[in-house]
Amino acid sequence: MSPLLEVHDLHVEIPVPHGHLHAVRGVSLTVDAGESIGVVGESGSGKSITLRALLGLLPQPAQVTKGSIVLDGVDVTGLPERRRTKVLTDAMSMIFQDSLTALNPVMRVGDQIAEVPRRRLGMSKSAAHARAVELMDQVGIPEPERRFRAYPHQLSGGMRQRVCIAIALSAEPRLILADEPTTALDVTIQAQVLEVIDRLRRDRRLGVILVSHDLAVISQTCSRIYVMYAGRVIESGRIGDLLALARHPYTFALLRAVPDPDLPVHRLLTIPGQPPDLAAVPAGCSFAPRCAFAEPGCYEVDPALTPVPDDPDHASACIRVETAPQWLDWTPADVLDLVEKT
Amino acid sequence: MTVTVDKPPRTHGTDEVLGVEGLVQHFIGRRSWTDRLTRTPEHVVKAVDGVDLTLATGETLGLVGESGCGKSTLSRCIMGLYQPNAGQVRYAGEPVRGLPTRAQRRTVQMVFQDPYSSLNPRMTVGQTLGELLRYHRIVPRNQVAARSHELMDLVGLPHDALRRTPRQFSGGQRQRIGIARALALQPRVLIADEPVSALDVSVQATIINLLTDLRESLGLSMVFVSHNIAVVRQVSDRIAVMYRGRIVETGPTEQIFNDPRHPYTQLLLASVPRMLSSTTDGHPIDATESLGTADPLAVVDGEPDADESPYSAHAIEGEHGCRYRPRCPVAMPACVDEPGLLPIAHDPTRAAACWHVDDDRKDEPR
Amino acid sequence: MTVISVPGSATDTVVPTTRRRRKHNVLLIVGLTLFGLLVLAAILAPVLASHDPIQQDLANARLAPGSPGHLLGTDELGRDIYSRLLYGARIDLRVGVLAVVSPFIIGTVLGLVSGWFGGWLDTVIMRIVDVVVAFPFFVLVIALVFALGAGTGSIYVAITMVGWVAYCRIVRGEVLVAKEQEYALAARASGLPTWRILFRHLLPNVVLQAVIYSMSDIVLTILAIVTLGYLGLGVPPPTPDWGSMIQDGQQFLLTQWYLATIPGIAVVITGLALALIADGLVDRFDRR
Ligand SMILES: Nc1ncnc2c1ncn2[C@@H]1O[C@H](COP(=O)(O)OP(=O)(O)OP(=O)(O)O)[C@@H](O)[C@H]1O
Ligand SMILES: Nc1ncnc2c1ncn2[C@@H]1O[C@H](COP(=O)(O)OP(=O)(O)OP(=O)(O)O)[C@@H](O)[C@H]1O
Ligand code: SF4
Ligand SMILES: [Mg+2]
Ligand SMILES: [Mg+2]
């Protein structure tokens, strides 16, 4: 059986006053039905642009310049624009970070949920209403009948995000794209919203692409993970492998830059410098100038995403992909050294 | 593999550098004349509703709580940016009456949350620092430039940063400038209101490390406000958990993490997303299997509507009883009386505002 | 306090400033050049003019542009239009600019104070603003000029008394936004005196909108003078000004269209120059 969604070598360019901003530079990913994959990376690494390219909803001047999107084994890339957008939006829905701006402030939330069943699926008014209430119930909104008539500003952030999820579900998608769905929420509420998304994935065998900058959130909700840096996937694999055996220095550093809530004071690893300007990406590995392990070769070739020797599911785009395992033997003192060096 | 730096516990003096007593800050919503005609009562937001705090020399207090619980309001009251309705703020044991005096301003300084809006876009970094150094007469006029250079060194920025305007810096660099501005007055206390929340994870780490280093090298006391409990644990000696305008639990960081006493603190700690431990690696994940967040407690349903007063993140006029009661899984009839901060029997350094404070202690000999 | 340089502090590279405002600001340059030329023409009027602007010559009345000796023709009294245009610029630009300066200053300061302090001060100032705004601009100006007596002096006073409200409202609105920005809080937190926060920190950040408005206000003022001229309350004849030239020319619109059109074009060019400057200023200084 072919995966639900396959993306091959996606490139997105955005024309800017002096040249082209290469926002996405060859991203490939796959999602199966009932699978949840995570995309992490720092701000500006192209996570949102990738998602929007999948839906055909890129911001104005941006354009997909290369790559293919295969949905259920059917390559939709060649379809005429209107038809492609329809096929893609029928199969996928998106949840955004800011639920307050994602909702129409002057429309009752229930009507916003009922809109798609009514307009696109052609349900009667009462059937659409019943459907909306059912969806609200499914995403865990208590007293859905009463809240049907609420306006967005009358609901708390967590409730609003659930409304957004209900709207996303109303089109009966098979894949949900969630762009930082919980970043604006408090931790206690975040846990609930993630739980809702995860339950839907299990119950409806939905595919989920969850974008976040929080590795812990991803590790709790996804089975596979893609780490993006400067418009590329630089490491991907099953979540456990990746967390335990990170092969790419960026992932390695990222994992140690976040404080662990369960550990007392520990020195955090920092990543010096800044990501490259995507309008003029230098030759070689784009992480090289910031990399603690860079060697002269890193400035010459940009390493491709290569499977790790004994794990075909785990790939890393680092020149040291072969030798990297030895990091595992590093003692805390070695890492401390690294901390002092950076 | 994680690195734990073994440091001897830092010793602090017991003398108080900052004290807050019974602080109350209410915001009264605007009433239109139609509201007045129809006698609609005023909408009072009790952003800070009776807070007591003390900060000892060299100590870092972490202030955590959900969005809207009044953390920023409290910090601003401490800075004298609001005139509280009641209560007192003391700088180095000396009460602040009305606005802090020029000398008092130098005791307590603040680092703001948003590195993008907290610097004046039309002044260069050098002008910003120079103005403060001159107005507060920190150094003689002819040494202002030298002192500015020192400040740049202190926060790890190049000297030529002084000639640039804030827009030419990244978020992390701006936050360094914000820290330099606060340090220009040589304060004894630094109030940091979510100093890293607006920053990328990797940049966050550099700022946390910088604050930790400065605290050590300059002997600063700090109030570190954040909603990120992992970050707070990282920097604080003591923690105060705030819920709807009031402190509901306080105590030394480690004790609170090991044995939270207030149900809200328990929920907060249980909800923090945790990195999957490496023990599950290689374990095949079934599409129907739940990967959901750890604790069922985290999914307690009691989440508020924004318009329903008893459930909002801040307290508003006319409610009574424990403020956590509407969400509390262990509420009982006694909870219609609001508990104050009750001491925890076995540990005098801790207190929690819950009638269950001494129930089923983890460390109790059974 | 000793300085310890912090190990492990990342000295990130400074972000290069590649912003569109770094480009040559064409709008601003063109606008300023155009306006500069107008001002130059006004200053050099005695040198540039070919005739005495008030010298009548009824024998050569209403000559078409391009007539020998009269570059842009003559008006109904045989006065040289080109020369009158130049001398008109002296009056109009001076009155236009000067009549905007004092409302600008008064309105900005009151708006700053009103927005910052709020409370009863704000209430009082805003009530006065409401009262002034309640009357149509021209009605109030005309009434005031009428009460004060015709002449440029009264025009200044009347326009100042009415015009400051616009600046006051603009600046107050900007201050209400800016004072909640963290940089304003930071300035307060570091204990700087209020006047310094207001004029050093807030003013440069809020004044841009007022400056932009003043550009169109100059044109409006010139038009106000035209209107006042209509009622005989403007610049007393025979002093040339563009307003009275347009008004005088209007009666001949069907036969000698250029009599009203040429000074009209002068007003339009002035307006254009100021609009370009305003746009250029936005590009150059708007930090949002
Ligand atoms: N409308 C746009 N016009 C020009 N450049 C854009 C636009 N939208 C995004 N970009 C650029 O494309 C790159 C990728 O942006 P994207 O929004 O995908 O990042 P992201 O990974 O989602 O970051 P974040 O975590 O901040 O949301 C960035 O360099 C960004 O500056
Ligand atoms: N100037 C104000 N006028 C009216 N209400 C205010 C004002 N400032 C804050 N509030 C209200 O007071 C409550 C506490 O706000 P505060 O900003 O202190 O919360 P916070 O804990 O800092 O939240 P966050 O984590 O979102 O920053 C909120 O309900 C807020 O809406
Ligand atoms: S006092 Fe009662 S309601 Fe409040 S937290 Fe404790 S048990 Fe819950
Ligand atoms: Mg994004
Ligand atoms: Mg806050």
Which three-class secondary structure string do you get for chain A?
CCCCEEEEEEEEEEEECCEEEEEEEEEEEEECCCCEEEEECCCCCCHHHHHHHHHCCCCCCCEEEEEEEEECCEECCCCCHHHHHHHHHHHEEEECCCHHHHCCCCCCHHHHHHHHHHHCCCCCHHHHHHHHHHHHHHCCCCCHHHHCCCCHHHECHHHHHHHHHHHHHHCCCCEEEEECCCCCCCHHHHHHHHHHHHHHHHHHCCEEEEECCCHHHHHHHCCEEEEEECCEEEEEEEHHHHHHCCCCHHHHHHHHHCCCCCCCCCCCCCCCCCCCCCCCCCCCCCCHHHCCCCCHHHHCCCCCCEEECCEEEEEECCCCCCCHHHHHHCCHHHHHHHHHHC
**Predicted pLDDT at C94:** 83
For residue range C131-170, list pLDDT tens digits in order. Answer: 988 888 888 888 888 888 777 788 888 888 888 999 999 9
Cβ of B154 within 8 Å of Cβ of C185? The answer is no
Choose which residue among A27, A45, A55 to substitute to test ligand 1 binding: the one with the highest number of ligand atoms within 8 A of its C-beta: A45
Sorted by where each begins, the domain ranges of chain A are: 5-222, 228-341
Tell me, rounded to whole angstroms, the distance of Cα C9 from its chain centroid: 50
**Architecture of the structural domain at C24-285:** Orthogonal Bundle (1.10)
Which of B183, B178, B181, B180 has its CA nearest to residue B195? B178
Q: Say which residue, C159 or B40, is predicted with more confidence.
A: C159
Confidence tier at C264 by pLDDT (50, 70, 90): confident
Which of A311, A305, A301 has its CA nearest to residue A231? A305
Question: Other C-beta atoms within 10 Å of B83: how many?
Answer: 9
C20, closest residue in chain A (CA to CA): A17
Contact yes or no for C130/C216 (Cβ under 8 A): no
**Predicted pLDDT at B224:** 95
Distance, in Å, from the CA atom of B58 to the CA atom of B53, rounded to the nearest integer, reads: 15
**Predicted pLDDT at B285:** 42
Q: What is the mean pLDDT of chain C?
A: 79
pLDDT at position C1 over 60: no
Tokens of A42: 């720092």
Q: Say which residue, B10 or A200, is predicted with more confidence.
A: A200
Cβ of C13 within 8 Å of Cβ of A339? The answer is no
pLDDT at position A99 over 50: yes
Please give the CATH number for the structural domain made up of A5-222: 3.40.50.300
Q: Residue C200 carries which DSSP code? A: I
Q: Say which residue, A67 or C242, is predicted with more confidence.
A: A67
- Tell me the residues surrounding ligand 4 (ion) with CB < 5 Å: A 48
C190 at interface of A, judged by CB pairs closer than 8 A: no
How distant is the Cα of B307 from the closest Cα of chain A, in angstroms?
A: 5
**Predicted pLDDT at C71:** 66
From A210-219, B67-76, C221-230, the region with the lowest mean pLDDT:
C221-230
**Predicted pLDDT at C192:** 87
Pocket (CB within 6 angstroms of ligand 1): A 14, 21, 23, 41, 43-49, 59, 213, 278
pLDDT at position B298 over 50: no
Dihedral pair phi/psi, residue B235, rounded to 5°:
-110, -15
User: For residue A51, how far is its CA from the centre of ligand 1 (angstroms)?
Assistant: 11
Task: Taking residues A268-294, report their average pLDDT.
Answer: 83
Pocket (CB within 6 angstroms of ligand 3): B 262-263, 322, 324-325, 328, 330-331, 335, 339, 354-356
Q: Tell me what percent of the residues of chain A surpass a pLDDT of 90.
A: 20
Closest C-alpha to ligand 2, atom 5: B27
Cβ of B81 within 8 Å of Cβ of C189? The answer is yes
How distant is the Cα of B212 from the closest Cα of chain A, in angstroms?
A: 9
Q: Tell me what percent of the residues of chain C surpass a pLDDT of 70.
A: 80
Task: Taking residues B23-41, report their average pLDDT.
Answer: 76
Ligand of minimum distance to the alpha carbon of A157: 2
Contacts 24+ apart (CB under 8 A), C235-241: C235/C91, C235/C95, C235/C151, C235/C152, C236/C150, C236/C151, C238/C54, C239/C54, C239/C87, C239/C91, C240/C53, C240/C54, C240/C79, C240/C83, C240/C84, C240/C85, C240/C87, C240/C88, C240/C91, C241/C88, C241/C91, C241/C92
Q: Which amino acid is at C229?
A: G
Task: Taking residues B22-48, report their average pLDDT.
Answer: 78
ipTM for the complex shown: 0.81
Most confident by average pLDDT, A18-22, A258-262, C184-188: C184-188
How distant is the Cα of C116 from the closest Cα of chain A, in angstroms?
A: 29
User: For residue B74, how far is its CA from the centre of ligand 5 (angstroms)?
Assistant: 9
Q: What is the mean pLDDT of chain A?
A: 85
**Predicted pLDDT at B109:** 92
Task: Taking residues C230-256, report their average pLDDT.
Answer: 72
Which of B221, B198, B219, B196 has its CA nearest to residue B209? B196
What H or E segment, with its residue span, contains residue B56? strand B44-56
**Predicted pLDDT at A333:** 55
Contact yes or no for A206/A34 (Cβ under 8 A): yes
Task: Taking residues B304-332, report their average pLDDT.
Answer: 66
Contact yes or no for B194/B225 (Cβ under 8 A): yes
Distance, in Å, from the CA atom of B339 to the CA atom of B351, rounded to the nearest integer, reads: 11
Alpha helices in C7-63 (DSSP H): 26-43, 45-48
Tell me, rounded to whole angstroms, the distance of Cα C20 from its chain centroid: 27
Q: Say which residue, C22 or B113, is predicted with more confidence.
A: B113
Cβ of B209 within 8 Å of Cβ of C8? The answer is yes
Choose which residue among B73, B227, B228 to substitute to test ligand 2 binding: the one with the highest number of ligand atoms within 8 A of its C-beta: B73
Per CB-CB distance under 8 Å, the chain A contacts of B170 are 274
Distance, in Å, from the CA atom of B248 to the CA atom of B324, rounded to the nearest integer, reads: 9
Task: Taking residues C19-35, report their average pLDDT.
Answer: 72
**Predicted pLDDT at A30:** 93
Q: If you count DSSP H runs as helices and E runs as strands, how many of each does chain B have, helices first?
A: 10, 13
Same fold, A5-222 and A228-341: yes
Task: Taking residues B256-280, report their average pLDDT.
Answer: 80
Q: Whole-prediction pTM value?
A: 0.81
Contact yes or no for A84/A71 (Cβ under 8 A): no
**C234: three-class secondary structure by DSSP:** coil
Q: How many residues does chain C have?
A: 288
pLDDT at position B108 over 80: yes
Residue with tokens 């609105």: C173
May I ask the CATH class of domain A228-341? alpha beta
Confidence tier at C11 by pLDDT (50, 70, 90): very low
How many beta-carbon pairs under 8 angstroms link A with C?
21
**Predicted pLDDT at B147:** 92
pLDDT at position B305 over 60: no
Closest C-alpha to ligand 2, atom 12: B47
Report the b/e string of B277-294 with b at 16+ CB within 10 A. eeeeeeeebeeeeebbbe
Per CB-CB distance under 8 Å, the chain A contacts of B201 are 42, 213-215, 254, 257-258
How distant is the Cα of B324 from the closest Cα of chain A, in angstroms?
A: 14
User: For residue B362, how far is its CA from the centre of ligand 4 (angstroms)?
Assistant: 42
Nearest to A342 among C8, C13, C20 (CB): C8
| Number of Cα atoms under 13 Å in the Cβ half of residue A35 | 18
Domain architecture of chain B: domains with CATH:
16-32+41-247 (3.40.50.300), 259-363 (no CATH)
Confidence tier at B38 by pLDDT (50, 70, 90): confident
Atom from ligand 2 closest to the CA of residue B245: 14
Cβ of B275 within 8 Å of Cβ of A205? The answer is no
**B228: three-class secondary structure by DSSP:** coil
Q: Which amino acid is at A191?
A: A
